[in-house]
Amino acid sequence: MSVERPGAWTRFMAEARARMAEGVPLESSGTLTRLTGLVLEAVGLRVPVGAQCMVGMPGQAPVLAEVVGFSGERTFLMPAGDTHGLCSGARVLPCAPDMPGPVWGEPSRPIRRTGVLRLPMGNGLLGRVVDAQGLPLDHRGPVQDTVLAPMARDRINAMERDPVRQPLDTGVRAINALLTVGRGQRLGLLAGSGVGKSVLLGMMARYTGADVIVVGLIGERGREVKEFVEDILGADGRARSVVVAAPADAPPLLRMQGASYATAVAEHFRDQGRHVLLLLDSLTRYAMAQREIALAIGEPPATKGYPPSCFARLPQLVERSGNGLQGQGSITAFHTVLTEGDDPHDPVADAARAILDGHIVLSRALAEAGHFPAIDIEQSSSRVMHRLVPDRHLELARRFRALYSRYQKGRDLLQVGAYASGSDPALDEAIRLQPQMAQFLQQDLHQAATLEQSVAALAAALDPCRPGDV
């Protein structure tokens, strides 16, 4: 033993000098000391926030975790898998650079020690359904024709982005005519549960004029993933789509990572000059996942239980969408926002309205009346519509809104018979055009309406005696 120890020490020092000369950091590890709720605490670990680590015991499958904070010598990690079987004293090992994993197991994806998570990007994702780690969920074999790219991207200078100037055809008549969307615009779809958000997203996925569609199903029911892909998206929509699914039973870290991954995939195709439609369902579940993580590591709650970091994370995610550099592609994004209890002043909804370029509100009362899509025109708006459409179209939309709002305000008088015809000429006109306006706002799920057809139908609804034109 006395002879082997100097030789082993000499070899270790020689390997350490070689690694230092190559710029490769020495391996460090920590020890798991506490598991409380969702958070793992380790000591002896010197890694930056965002670094990926493996936590495990000899003879057991390791658990992938991400560093989310620290306090003195304690490092806080959020697991990306089941923590069953872990105990105090488990080894915490940072994932080595460009290596498949630590010595006792392999993570699902190569990860850099610097904390930059790399996941598959490329044309091989088209038509596939993957999870938040880029692993296939559709039982169609491994994902091919992809490259591993970092999730983190440099922010685009706001002065270098192309402005939103070109209208985008969504295939939905009410949106095309009254809430015209621009290529590169970011909108919110605000609604309570069960009002038709997913179905409306499916319509836009099938009918919108985009090169690539990226769908992020974040924190939703697992049953809805297969239904959205097979029933709502359909074969035609799926062929040019990438679906990233992180259902409600996924750990909060994977739910947040799924939203970031879907956005990163959209950025990858935008950088190739393609026009991308990003459908993220939902932004609220993303905020809830961040709330779970923040509260678990001790951040104090603020507005309705949401800590301040939630409202800081939202613009960081949303601002990644939009037009790219001049002459490059674009990302037109629809982020759904779940208004809890149908409260339009939900804190996440308020924050989303402030950072998005418009919002579409779905009404439960309209949905219960069989009105689909249940878009509340009075509460919805597109902040860039006036830059996208000609004056004639803008005037038709303004007149439609005015008449529709006038009818809604006088509806109670009409129902109780307290209104006498001729008392209000504007209300008389709104009553006369109400059947045409209601028919215009409704649309069959399997029927598309182009932008030109939508504007013509808008003109016809306001003047039934004359064919619509612009």
The arithmetic mean of pLDDT across residues 255-277, rounded, is 93
Place of tokens 């999730």: 151
Smallest CA-to-CA distance from 316 within 188, 449, 460, 155 is with 155
| 342 has a pLDDT exceeding 80 | no
For the chain, which domains are there?
Answer: 30-94 (2.40.10.170), 119-388 (3.40.50.12240), 393-462 (1.20.1270.330)
| Amino acid at residue number 376 | D
From the CA atom positions of the chain, what is the Rg in Å? 26
How much is the pTM?
A: 0.84
The arithmetic mean of pLDDT across residues 296-315, rounded, is 87
Confidence of residue 19 (pLDDT cuts 50, 70, 90): low
**Lowest model confidence (mean pLDDT) among 115-119, 235-239, 315-319:** 115-119
Smallest CA-to-CA distance from 119 within 160, 73, 75, 64 is with 64
**Lowest model confidence (mean pLDDT) among 20-34, 243-257, 294-308, 405-419:** 20-34
Give the Å distances, CA to CA, from 12 to 19, 97, 104, 236, 350.
11, 20, 20, 58, 58
pLDDT given for residue 376 in this prediction:
93
pLDDT given for residue 331 in this prediction:
94
Tell me the pLDDT of the chain averaged across its residues.
85
Q: Phi and psi for 106 in degrees, rounded to 5?
A: -125, 130
| 55 has a pLDDT exceeding 50 | yes
For residues 411 and 403, the answer to whether their CB atoms sit within 8 Å is no
pLDDT given for residue 26 in this prediction:
55
| 332 has a pLDDT exceeding 70 | yes
pLDDT given for residue 256 in this prediction:
92
| 54 has a pLDDT exceeding 70 | yes
Place of tokens 């507005």: 303
pLDDT given for residue 222 in this prediction:
76
pLDDT given for residue 464 in this prediction:
64
Give the Å distances, CA to CA, from 280 to 104, 263, 356.
36, 9, 13
| 24 has a pLDDT exceeding 60 | no
**Lowest model confidence (mean pLDDT) among 57-66, 159-168, 331-340, 367-376:** 57-66
| 147 has a pLDDT exceeding 60 | yes
The arithmetic mean of pLDDT across residues 3-13, rounded, is 67
Confidence of residue 109 (pLDDT cuts 50, 70, 90): very low
3-state helix vs strand vs coil in the chain, percent to 5: 40, 20, 40
Confidence of residue 106 (pLDDT cuts 50, 70, 90): very low
pLDDT tens track for 363-416: 999 998 889 999 999 999 999 999 999 999 999 999 999 999 999 988 878 877
